[in-house]
Structure 1
Amino acid sequence: MKRVLFSLAAGAAITITLAGCSGTGMGSTAAGRSGAKAVATLSPKSDTNTGGTVTFQQQAGGGVMMVASVTGLPPGTTHGFHVHEKGDCSAPDAMSAGGHFNPTGKPHGQMTMPDHHAGDMNNLTADAGGNARVSVLLPDLSVGSGPNSVIGRAVVVHKDPDDYKTQPTGNSGGRIACGVVAAS
């Protein structure tokens, strides 16, 4: 059994239990050392003021706890949020970060679906002040070495919500913030 915690903008939390999923069955890897951490500092892209911090911490049972704090979003809006394959945010539109991180070659989808990219995360929703905060266990990622490691990847906030079905991007629009994930 795998539990996934979703924090909502209003401060409430939902825990979903995924039956039949073991720590290794969903792509987790032993390559991450329990407690290992990595951080991405989000910088504005595409002429926005969006920024923030995303932290990743390896969990003993597998997967990575991700905590994100994003600012400068239009109030009340929803945005696609993904780990991308390349740790390169140098382009003004963050296209240098490449596509979604997908080491297993699966189709794009919501992270609670059986088929999804390792880098697919749930949408961010900004509160009335334009801020979003989320904590979630990402069972398909690790912090450390190995094919599922987030280190050296990029985290991207998109302009529009992810529809979780359009391939391969979720139709989430331009990239408004980007940060390279580095070990901390």
Structure 2
Amino acid sequence: MNRLVLGVATTCIVALSGCAMDGGTGRPQGDMAAAGASVMLLDASGAQKGTASLRQTAAGLQMTVTAMGMTLGPKGLHFHMTGRCDAPDFTTAGGHWNPTAMKHGKDSGVGPHGGDLPNIEISADGTGRAETTLAGAMLTGGATPLMDADGAALIIHAAADDYRTDPSGNSGARLACGVVTPT
């Protein structure tokens, strides 16, 4: 009897606090603006090459990436579909996050992938910064969240993304990889 009363009381407290769960996934719906994640970008030797922070907003997934210790020029930047970054080539991160089965690139006419991001420009001192918002993207919850059962990774590539060549934008080798980690 006491367990039943405790269960009912807990259910009532959760309902009154506005902490409803998202469609049986066990993720709180609450304030989406509070949802966030971070990424530590490492190269194949394990040296830190950058960081990223992600924040869920009403407009989509807002992201800031900083890079360091890189060579001069634009580099492709993409979310990949699996939260694994095994060296030396980071292929365990899989292909680009593509929840809507589009072709690669904003300039392809049939794209972009959900994981297609603007290039990050690396300056002569080896650092770079990129800020963007993925319109309509969800970190968690919804039909196609970035953080699904096997997670997600962020990768910096060796060359610029041409924004049209499928599947990777002709962006070259994977230089740095980091697992997206909820904060």
- Residue segments in structure 2 that go unaligned for 5+ positions in a row: 1-28
Secondary structure at the counterpart of residue 96 of structure 1: helix
Q: CA separation in 1, counterparts of 2:69 and 2:41?
A: 11
User: What's the counterpart of residue 168 of structure 2?
Assistant: 169
Q: Is the 8 A contact 1:111 1:122 kept in 2?
A: no
| 1:116-157, Cα deviation, whole Å (9 max, x unpaired) | 000000111101211011111111421223443233200000
User: What's the counterpart of residue 65 of structure 1?
Assistant: 62
Q: Is the 8 A contact 1:54 1:69 kept in 2?
A: yes
- Residue segments in structure 1 that go unaligned for 5+ positions in a row: 1-29
TM-score (norm 1): 0.75
Measured after TM superposition, the shift of residue 113 of structure 1 is: 6.9
Change over 3 Å in CA distance of 1:88–1:168 after alignment to 2: same
Using CA pairs under 8 Å that are at least 6 residues apart, name the structure with larger relative contact order, 1 or 2.
1
Q: CA separation in 2, counterparts of 1:121 and 1:62?
A: 16
> Identity over aligned residues, as a percent?
35
Q: CA separation in 1, counterparts of 2:63 and 2:93?
A: 19
TM-score (norm 2): 0.75
Change over 3 Å in CA distance of 1:105–1:32 after alignment to 2: farther
User: What's the counterpart of residue 114 of structure 2?
Assistant: 118
Measured after TM superposition, the shift of residue 48 of structure 1 is: 8.8
Greater share of helix residues, 1 or 2? 2
Measured after TM superposition, the shift of residue 49 of structure 1 is: 5.4
RMSD of aligned alpha carbons:
2.4
Larger Rg: 2
Q: Is the 8 A contact 1:84 1:119 kept in 2?
A: yes
Greater share of strand residues, 1 or 2? 1
Q: Of the candidates 47, 50, 53, which is equivalent to residue 52 of structure 1?
A: 50
1:179 maps to 2:178: yes
Q: CA separation in 1, counterparts of 2:56 and 2:107?
A: 18
Structure 2 counterparts to residues 1-184 of structure 1, below 5 A: 33-45=32-44, 51-59=49-57, 61-75=58-72, 77-110=73-106, 115-151=111-147, 152-184=151-183
